[in-house]
Structure 1
Amino acid sequence: MFSFFRKKSAPTPAQPAAPVSPEADLPVPAAPTAAIAVVEPMAAPAPVVPPVAEPAAETEATEAARAGWLQRLKSGLSKTSNSIADVFTGGTKIDEALYEELEAALLMADTGVAATTALLDDLRQRVKDTRATEPAQVKALLADAIADMLAPLEKSLIVGEYHPTVIMVAGVNGAGKTTTIGKLTRHLAAGGATVLLAAADTFRAAAREQLAAWADRNTHDLSARELDPGNRVEIISQQGADPAAVSFDAVAAGRARGKDVVLVDTAGRLPTQAHLMEELRKIRRVVQKADVTAPHECLLVIDGNTGQNALAQVKAFDEVLQLTGLVVTKLDGTAKGGVLCAIAREKPLPVYFIGVGEKLEDLETFHAREFAHALLD
């Protein structure tokens, strides 16, 4: 479980929101208040919400949940791990044939030519330095090489330096964007942050209803865990309205209501749809009119099954939104996983979360070493 924590600070009285046109110039907002610090996943400071279980029992439950999630991740990446593991079976010798087989396996895992070449060069040097002679040793060294390549992608999402912290979430149709927003809301709310959702996907049928359903699931989840859900998850929506206008209203409402986070659900689109990509630029511009410091995070949700196309999506959306991080979903199906190595090599944006299923708890923080071993075990 990844939790969000915040430092205690004097409450800031909410100011009533005046109806302002999205295209009007707004005054520069007040300087940010004290930050909500996001700690590393395994750290254990006292959370804002008092624990409902004894510390030892809570730690044990958390570790058990993480172990269960890692097992699901390994299962999701089994197609890749089985393919690479086959290279090290039988009477494998540490020779050029081994490296050629590894190259083919890595390329089939969507690792990409540049990342595969870098990994094999690194592996050869590690084998030489350690004088490894057994296939199992080489496999372990490969896991280390992958972990080191992915390490720059491992970063914590920080919430609370600004109030509210505005997070835009984008992605192509079917990548799991709205579902990811629901899961991310759960992480934020369970950690004590108040969340407001902007349903800016205004033209897709039932998009607002889908987001509302996730908000309702989050509220019930908080209640079931005996965490006060009071006013933590709210939605700003307007069917058929301009997405930028809805985003503007949500940021203004988040400031007026003293929310910690505003999550903006943008409409799904393909990078080749120029008019829709331009609409993303408009949403970003209008959000900045509501808060000149926003958006504070621009996240792209990518489907782990799309292979090298995911890298193309990252480049295209980054050009429009100046992405700050990624969420990789659907690693529980036919996902090959190697695309994260390609991203690390060619466009090393932080991977804040990875997902392995449809449940609220099936979104977890990304750890390079855990992922590397899941990719090979």
Structure 2
Amino acid sequence: MAANLALTLAAAALAWRHRDRGGTGDPGLVGGIAIAALGIGLAIAAIVPPAFAVLAPLAALGLLLAAARVDPLVPARLTLLPVIVLLALAIRPLSDVALALGVSLLWEELPYLHLPSAGDAARLLLLPALALLAAGAGQRPLFGPARRLILPAATAVAILGLYVLLKQPLAIASPEAFVARGFAERALLGDLALLAGWLLWTRHRPLATALATLALARILWFDLLGLNPVLVPQRVGTLPLCNAATLHLALAALLVRRLPGLPRRSLVAALLTLAATLATIRQIAHGTLLTGTVGIAENWGYSAAMLALAILWLWRGLAVRSADLRRFGLALLTLTTLKVFLIDASALEGVLRILSFMGLGGALIGIGWAYRRFVTPVDAAPARSPTGSPQSSTLRG
């Protein structure tokens, strides 16, 4: 400890003697500051408990930032040192998080068991990464050419640390806990990522796009494919509309719709809206657990909900003159018609089948009439002369 302190003081004295050579990259100034920062870091690491060892490189980073007032070249030359130390301290929790993410991608139900502790995530991942981001925001030339690599990496580490902390409240560590809270936690994490993307959309487009893409990928990979609550038992709630499945997909559709510039956002929002509608019918039919077979009433409920959504999209498309909504409405109407004729009607006999065909036919006739009546813009009508008769397109001699 005494030798470390003596070396630190000697290096600080050397840097002080060369303080008038700032801006030249003088080896005595730069080297003295580097050795002094390293000595301070080692001294703090020897004093504080191991759980707070992360304070050592943060203290060194603080000294380097202060030294920037003497020589602006110091941050660009030396700040990689505490960054390397921070990454070395974060290797173990990062490997644990990587393992948890890897098994979750294989649809493992309990990735929580592989995560590092909340304390390690906060001390070794989240707080150091936030410190690097804050330092980079305060001193733009801080990391020099490595800035484009360090700041995105620090952002990713901060997100991983926050992910670990967000997994702590529900602590899904058993199959029973997964059934009870698995879908709700997954929906919450996905919606938070999408909400963060929406909030950052006008401030930091690359980060916002990455968060939105991550959230949508989670919905597709987990909620609709591997861990779909229709296939894997998970409780979504007992209320017909205010349940996790409906609210999760509906909120995602709303946020995607409000992200201008997101590729295919209209189509993605429409598909999420349709998924939320079908999830509502499924929840009404089965309750909080969505597993089970499809009954006749549920099957017709899907058809009625799809028909209603198609009519809504067509109406809104005509009202706001949105070609996308009209196309979505027509596509869903076609899909609903095929479903009714090929699937629903096959389960009916006699008069009920005839009535179903008549009802669907009447609905289609009405929708076709309304579409032809309102889809043509008013200004597409032939122009009229002041006398009220249509003007001729050619001049008559």
TM-score scaled by length of structure 2: 0.23
TM-score by length of structure 1 reads 0.24
Higher strand share: 1
**Higher RCO (CA < 8 A, seq sep 6+):** 1
**More helix, by proportion:** 2
Larger Rg: 2
